Copies of this chain bind each other. A is one copy, B any other.
């Protein structure tokens, strides 16, 4: 069901084609939130049309089909967004790897974290640059980039903290520093 709402949410921003939507999954959303390939997107748009949540508002070059959210779709989306959060399991292979870091020898873990720190810093640079550009897209893309910056920063800090803890190997030592 999440796919459906992801599509609805993206279309609520602006009407677009299945191709456009697929690009957004691939480029931004898939990193933190949700992912889908075109083979899932196109059939889902069909079903959503049948269910009256979206509607075809134009056909362009190369057989492109532009969809927009209907009133019904918009109200369903709002209802979904406003409903109290129940725990939905997350899947993030990257975080999984972070969590299993303790299965490595301290030196190996330290090497991995070093790598991670470099990657994170590079990534943060890219996102900062993207946000700083004057022609930066507004709306959710900018917010997503900002999320990414905070995400990578948090991740890096945590990984460095863990490495320190593991290196110290003091079973029950210092309390973690207050984040913030």
Residues of A within 8 A of B (CB): 2, 5-6, 9-10, 12-13, 29-35, 55, 57, 68-72, 74, 77-78, 80-82, 84-85, 87-104, 108, 111-112, 115-116, 119, 131-132, 134, 138-140, 143-144, 146-147, 149-151, 153-154, 157-158, 161-162, 165, 171-172, 175-176, 178-180
Contact = CB atoms under 8 A, between A and B. Distances in A.
Of A74, A81, A115, A180, chain B has the most CB atoms within 10 Å of the CB of: A180
Given A134-B172, A140-B102, A33 B180 contact: no
A154 B143 contact: no
Residues of A contacting B: mostly: helix
| Number of copies of this chain that the complex holds | 2
Contact of A90 (B55, B94, B165): B94
Listed residue (A9, A30, A115, A144) with the most chain B CB atoms within 10 angstroms of its CB: A9
Contacts of A134: 172
Given A81-B100, A104-B78, A179-B68, A33 B2 contact: no
Nearest to A12: B103
Given A31-B89, A81-B108, A84-B115, 16 more contacts: A6-B100, A12-B100, A29-B99, A31-B90, A32-B92, A34-B90, A55-B179, A70-B178, A85-B119, A88-B94, A95-B147, A102-B139, A138-B172, A147-B158, A150-B157, A151-B154
